């Protein structure tokens, strides 16, 4: 594994590479670009990427802007901004055609990238992709949202205590990702979490693998079937005892599924 930095759109970003260019040539120039989930960064993909690299594949995992060791955007980006950034990143690394993997939030970006830049994507792999962004709020979540947004709390509770309480409320009944987001990233999270990309997947024409954990509590398994029905060419594989972070808990199994699909 090598770790490098590059400047794109005045933002310094970090990325990891696994394998080598010679390995990629040995596998008909197959390069995999991985887009990580929200809050994770490239570190979450180290084990899975290393396993894929053992199969003579070159794997590149960037810390997308605002995550890992990369600088955050100066404005509140939307999904299209991340799609444009991925395109610039691929151009800077001279990636003409590659296999694209997207997990969770990264899957949301990957799906829209496939529509906008289909000529660059050889195959698409969606892992627990957060493509469907409909609101799923039960009573507890509704109470949490109300409390977290109530201005009266902010008026009478010291800022430090209010901030801690707000995070606790989101952890219990709201969004952990939003609770952890700070500053501009909190605004970006609000933008991306409102953007549903389900109808856009109808425009994806490349061969697509959908991998999902059957015990996923963040992106329900039903989403996988709904996405698969809208894709022109797709294969859906589920992992019975896996949750949302299947790339971390089931790295070897995920690698086997992906490599079989690529073969």
Q: How confident is the model at residue 33 (pLDDT cuts 50, 70, 90)?
A: very high
Which carries the bigger pLDDT value, residue 211 or residue 180?
A: 211
Asked whether residue 236 carries a pLDDT value surpassing 90, the answer given is: yes
More confident residue, 27 or 162: 162
Quickly state the pLDDT bin for 190 (edges 50, 70, 90): confident
Where in the sequence of the chain do the CATH 3.40.50.1820 domains occur?
2-133+196-262
The position carrying tokens 């991985």 is 34
What average pLDDT does range 8-22 have in this prediction? 87
- What would the mean pLDDT of 12-35 be, rounded to a whole number? 76
226 contacts 132 by C-beta, under 8 angstroms: yes
Predicted confidence (pLDDT) at residue 50 exceeds the cutoff of 90: yes
3-state secondary structure 162-203: HHHHHHHHHHHHCCHHHHHCCCHHHHHHHHHHCCCCCHHHHH
Indicate left, alpha or beta for 39 from its phi (over 0: left) and psi (-120 to 50: alpha). left
Distance CA 84, CA 87 (A): 5
- pLDDT at position 161 is 64
Q: What does pLDDT average to over the chain? A: 85
In this prediction, what percent of the chain has a pLDDT beyond 70?
78
Q: What is the pLDDT of residue 155?
A: 58
* pLDDT band (50, 70, 90) for residue 239: very high
H/E segment holding residue 102: strand 98-103
Residue with the bigger pLDDT between 99 and 177: it is 99
pLDDT band at 245 (very low <50, low <70, confident <90, very high): very high
Structural class in CATH, domain 2-133+196-262:
alpha beta
For 81-85, what is the mean pLDDT?
98
Lowest-confidence range among 20-34, 59-73, 207-221? 20-34
pLDDT confidence band for 134 (50 / 70 / 90): confident
């Amino acid at each position: 594994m090598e770790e490098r930095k590059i400047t794109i759109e005045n933002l310094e970003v970090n990325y990891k590479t696994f394998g080598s260019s010679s390995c990629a040539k040995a596998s008909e120039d197959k390069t995999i670009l991985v887009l990580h989930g929200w809050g994770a960064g490239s570190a979450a993909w180290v084990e899975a990427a290393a396993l894929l690299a053992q199969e003579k594949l070159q794997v590149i995992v960037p810390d997308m802007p605002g995550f890992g060791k990369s600088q955050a955007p100066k404005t509140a980006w939307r999904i299209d901004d991340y799609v444009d950034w991925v395109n610039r990143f691929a151009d800077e690394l001279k990636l003409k055609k590659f296999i694209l993997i997207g997990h969770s939030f990264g899957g949301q970006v990957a799906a829209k990238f496939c529509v906008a830049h289909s000529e660059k994507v050889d195959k698409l792999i969606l892992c627990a992709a957060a493509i469907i962004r409909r609101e799923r709020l039960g009573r507890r979540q509704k109470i949490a949202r109300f409390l977290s947004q109530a201005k009266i709390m902010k008026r009478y509770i010291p800022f430090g205590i209010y901030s801690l309480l707000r995070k606790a409320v989101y952890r219990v009944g709201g969004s952990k990702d939003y609770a952890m987001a700070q500053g501009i990233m909190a605004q970006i999270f609000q933008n991306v979490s409102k953007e549903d990309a389900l109808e856009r997947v109808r425009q994806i024409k490349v061969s697509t693998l959908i991998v999902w954990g059957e015990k996923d509590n963040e992106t329900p398994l039903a989403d996988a079937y709904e996405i698969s029905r809208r894709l022109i060419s797709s294969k859906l594989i589920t992992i019975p005892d896996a949750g949302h972070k299947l790339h971390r808990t089931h790295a070897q199994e995920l690698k086997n599924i992906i490599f079989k699909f690529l073969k």
